[in-house]
Amino acid sequence: MSSAEHTPAEHTRRDFLYVMTGAVAAAGAVAAAVPLIGQMNPDASTIAAGAPIEVDLTPIAQGQVIKVFWRGKPIFIDHRTKKEIDEARAVDWHTLPDPASDESRVKSGKDQWLVLIGICTHLGCIPLAHQGDYDGWFCPCHGSQYDSSGRIRRGPAPLNLALPPYEFVSDTKIRIG
Amino acid sequence: MSGHSTYQPQSPFMKWLEARLPIGGLVYSSFVDYPTPRNLNYWWTFGGILAFMLAVQIVTGVVLAMHYTPHASLAFDSVEHIMRDVNYGWLLRYLHSNGASMFFLACYIHIARGMYYGSYKDPREVLWILGVIIFLLMIATGFMGYVLPWGQMSFWAATVITNLFSAIPLFGESIVSWLWGGYSVGNPTLNRFYSLHYLLPFVIAGVVVLHVWALHVAGQNNPAGIDAKAGQDTVPFTPYATIKDAFFLACFLVLYAWFIFYIPNYLGHPDNYIPANPAVTPTHIVPEWYYLPFYAILRAIPSKLGGVMMLLASIVLLAFLPWLDTSKVRSASYRPLYRQFFWIFVAAVIGLGYLGSQPPEGIYVIAARILTAWYFIHLLIILPLLGFIETPKPLPSSISAAVLPGGLPAGASGPVPARDKA
């Protein structure tokens, strides 16, 4: 490099070439990172195995909670008693940590059926049914308590138990997913 | 690394090699001729112990990998296969699982020694930060190794710890799904953890090289916390430090062997001998003992994001110790107030460890909150303040004056030739 011909502040064609070469190398590095990072996302077979499932509700007695698996996640299907529904609706839901009415968490006309993703919203443990102070779920890991609508009432979990996407295909059958 | 090497190769082969790759001189100046402060006590032997434990973990890990199968439906059985069928498999696995505990034990003592004697202070800040990076890598490696047997504790530890990332606003859920390679912890998760558990120890070994390099640039700290000034303040690394390190390593290995041969499962959890079951969370889930203080901090905060942030902060803050500690005096031996606060801090961390092992309810939660608060008060308030309000004791004039009555007369060089300041 001859510094006699150019002052350091002057931009030359060579500077331009350096910058462009660097830019192409950076773009190449980003392009190479895409497959290296992307390979860790769920693969095609995992996604395919996550297709919707159908569950027959007839064998579930009142007061019983069953657990089915969808996408590797436990799904709670709770056939709630009248007492549990009344308790869930008696509370002023505006004051709850994650405000939601019980009506918004079930399908209208199917008030007795509560369908939840059975994963504590704190750190992913599976809460235990019919335990805790709110006639709902208790998480053994860090002590979060959910009520009979699956709403967080006490403990470190920030959110209510999540609702999976589901619909009633008939009065006694739901499709999850 | 300690200035110009005095190494003179003797054999024709070493002369030939030295002219092409001066490795003999590097080893000689770093591990034979290297001047170490003459007052080092046994707390200074844990660096060597840690290097030895890293080697044990890598050697036993590589051979265990010859028999282990990283698949969700085969992993548990392959570990039992190692325990029952593989020649010496039980020994190799117990060496590895208890080796992790011994590694962390030595690491905590090593960190505490650095904190007591102010080893993180100028000019050893980079050395200290490299150590914190090694500690973080150890935490990640140990966690992923614990997942591999695919027992109940493995599975649920993986679930709980990966869910820590779901606390990240906006991208949390997609990051967790990316970590899992699915919609929940499963076979893809186990497979990648195995790959990374094999990789990270070699990354640790690389950072250890930087750590030792930085140590040999700055020179070792010592119990008096003052710089070596003259030849009578130091002794050569070999034989003095090598023999002392070797002796205490042997003592440490007695403890290690006691765990392996007498109580190999004492530090584990019985639940991890139950195969992983995604449908049932164990009633009382706790991490391995070496994560308990941090687990207690996580649980003490009544907010998910807050708990995760405090957990991370409790470790990352250690990297800032060189600047949080405002005192010019390194060693706690000459800092009467700091010495008391140091032991209170140690007690608080041990207390947090105990609370992390207890169920998160009642008095345990309250106690964990108090000790968590103290952990941060110590690092963020007491350490900076002490530098201004504490009156240190007078420092000895030299290292030799600190350990020998009256010190050695200047010019007398003790058992070794005088050399330049480290």
Q: Is the dihedral of CA B215, B220, B226, B232 positive or negative?
A: negative
Say yes or no to pLDDT of B411 above 70.
no
| Residue B117 to residue B222: CA distance in whole angstroms | 7
Q: Does B160 touch chain A (CB under 8 A)?
A: yes
C-alpha span between B295 and B360 (Å, rounded): 11
How many angstroms separate the CA atoms of B166 and B118, rounded?
37
Closest CB to B304 among A37, A122, A141: A122
DSSP B25-53: HHHHHHHTS-EEETT--GGGGHHHHHHHH
pLDDT value at position A157? 87
Please state, in angstroms and rounded to a whole number, the distance separating the CA atoms of residues A45 and B364: 45
Tell me the two tokens of residue B50.
Answer: 């840690």
Could you give the strand order of the β-sheet that contains A145-146, starting from the edge strand earlier in sequence? A128-131, A136-138, A145-146, A152-154
> Across all residues in chain B, what is the average pLDDT?
92
Contact B285 A141 (CB under 8 A): yes
- The domain limits of chain A are 1-41, 47-176
CB B331 within 8 A of CB B339: no
Residue B420 pLDDT greater than 60, yes or no = no
Segment B315-329 mean pLDDT: 96
Q: Is the pLDDT of residue B41 over 80?
A: yes
Q: Name the more confident of B220 and A2.
A: B220
Residue B162 sits at the chain A interface (C-beta within 8 Å)? yes
Inter-chain touch B181–A42, beta carbons under 8 Å: yes
Q: Do A122 and B281 touch (CB under 8 A)?
A: no
- Cβ atoms of B23 and B17 within 8 Å: the answer is yes
Per-residue pLDDT, B167:
86
What is the percentage of chain B residues whose pLDDT exceeds 90?
81
Is 70 exceeded by the pLDDT of residue B418? no
Q: What is the pLDDT of residue B233?
A: 92
Whether the pLDDT of residue B401 is over 90: the answer is no
Confidence of residue B407 (pLDDT cuts 50, 70, 90): low
- Look up residue B244 and give its two tokens: 């002392």
pLDDT tens column, B200-239: 999 999 999 999 999 999 999 999 999 998 888 999 999 9
Using CA atoms, how far apart are residues A162 and A76, in angstroms rounded to an integer? 10
Question: How would residue A7 be classed by pLDDT, with cut points 50, 70 and 90?
Answer: low
**B287-395: CATH superfamily:** plastocyanin oxidoreductase (1.10.287.980)
| Partner residue facing B160 (CB), from A43, A141, A158 | A141
The whole-number average pLDDT for the span B144-173 is: 92
Q: Is the confidence at residue B1, as pLDDT, over 80?
A: no
pLDDT band at B416 (very low <50, low <70, confident <90, very high): very low
| pLDDT score for A50 | 86
Report the topology of domain B26-285: Cytochrome Bc1 Complex; Chain C (1.20.810)
Nearest to A71 among B160, B181, B183 (CB): B183
Which of chain A's residues have a Cβ under 8 Å away from the Cβ of B159?
123-125
Chain segment A28-67, per-residue pLDDT in tens:
999 999 999 999 999 998 898 888 999 999 999 999 999 9
Instruction: Please write the tens of the pLDDT for every residue from B98-123.
Output: 999 999 999 999 999 999 999 999 99
Q: Do the domains B26-285 and B287-395 sit in the same CATH topology, yes or no?
A: no
Residue A126 with chain B: CB contacts under 8 Å: 279-281
Tokens of B401: 């004056």
pLDDT for residue B371 is more than 90:
yes
Residue of A nearest to B280 (CA): A126
pLDDT at B412 > cutoff 50: no
- Tell me which chain A residue has its CA closest to the CA of residue B174: A41
A73 to chain B, closest Cα gap in Å: 6
**Do B304 and A158 count as a contact with CB atoms less than 8 A apart?**
yes
CB atoms within 10 A of CB B170: 7
CATH class, A47-176 region: mainly beta
| Cβ separation B281–A125 shorter than 8 A | yes
Distance between first and last Cα of chain B: 10
Cβ atoms of B211 and B46 closer than 8 Å:
no
Residues of chain B with pLDDT > 70, as a percent, come to: 95
Is residue B408 predicted with pLDDT exceeding 90?
no
Q: Which two tokens stand for residue A110?
A: 């199917």
pLDDT over 50 at B419, yes or no:
no
- H/E run at residue B236: strand B234-236
B165 to chain A, closest Cα gap in Å: 9
Q: What residue of B is the nearest CA neighbor of A118?
A: B279
* Separation CA A80–CA A136 (nearest Å): 10
B379/A35 Cα distance (integer angstroms): 42
**In this complex, is the C-beta atom of B193 within 8 Å of any C-beta atom belonging to chain A?**
no
Cβ pair A67:B279 closer than 8 A: yes
- Minimal CA–CA distance to B148: which of B87, B68, B30, B243? B68
- The answer to whether B181 contacts A123, with C-beta atoms less than 8 Å apart, is no
The answer to whether the CB of B332 falls within 8 A of the CB of B386 is no
Q: Using one digit for the tens of pLDDT, what is the confidence trace for A92-102?
A: 999 999 999 99
Q: Given this model, what pLDDT does residue B409 score?
A: 54
Structure ipTM: 0.78
Task: Give the closest of B159, B279, B284 to A124, CB-based.
Answer: B159
H helix count then E strand count, chain B:
17, 2
Instruction: Give the tens place of pLDDT for each residue, B175-209.
Output: 999 999 999 999 999 999 999 999 999 999 999 99
For the segment B340-344, the average pLDDT, to the nearest whole number, is: 98
Q: What is the pLDDT of residue B404?
A: 79
A-B contacts (CB, under 8 Å):
86
Q: Do B181 and A40 touch (CB under 8 A)?
A: yes
What is the distance in angstroms between the Cα of A42 and the nearest Cα belonging to chain B?
4
Cβ distance A40 to B307 less than 8 Å, yes or no, reads: no
User: Which residue from A minimizes the CA distance to B184?
Assistant: A72
Q: Which of A6, A94, A130, A142 is the catalytic position?
A: A142
3-class DSSP assignment, residue B399: helix
pLDDT at residue number B417: 42
Alpha-carbon dihedral angle through residues A134, A136, A137, A142, given to the nearest 10 degrees: -10
HEC assignment per residue over chain A: CCCCCCCCCCCCHHHHHHHHHHHHHHHHHHHHHHHHHHCCCCCHHHHHCCCCEEEECCCCCCCCEEEEEECCEEEEEEECCHHHHHHHHHCCHHHCCCCCCCHHHCCCCCCCEEEEECCCCCCCCCCEEEECCCCEEECCCCCCEECCCCCEEECCCCCCCCCCCEEEEECCEEEEC
Domain boundaries, chain B: 26-285, 287-395
Q: State yes or no: is A11 an active-site residue.
A: no
Dist. CA B66–CA B144, nearest whole Å: 18
What would the mean pLDDT of B316-328 be, rounded to a whole number? 96
Q: pLDDT value at position B230? A: 86
Rounded Cα gap, residues B64 and B97, in angstroms: 11
What are the Cα distances from residue A120, in Å, to A76, B38, B361? 12, 56, 17
CB proximity list for B294: less than 8 A, separation 6 or greater: B311, B314, B315, B356
CA distance A67 to chain B (A): 8
Q: Show contacts of B245-251: CB within 8 Å, 24+ apart.
A: B245/B45, B245/B48, B245/B49, B246/B48, B247/B45, B248/B42, B248/B45, B248/B49, B249/B45, B249/B48, B249/B49, B249/B52
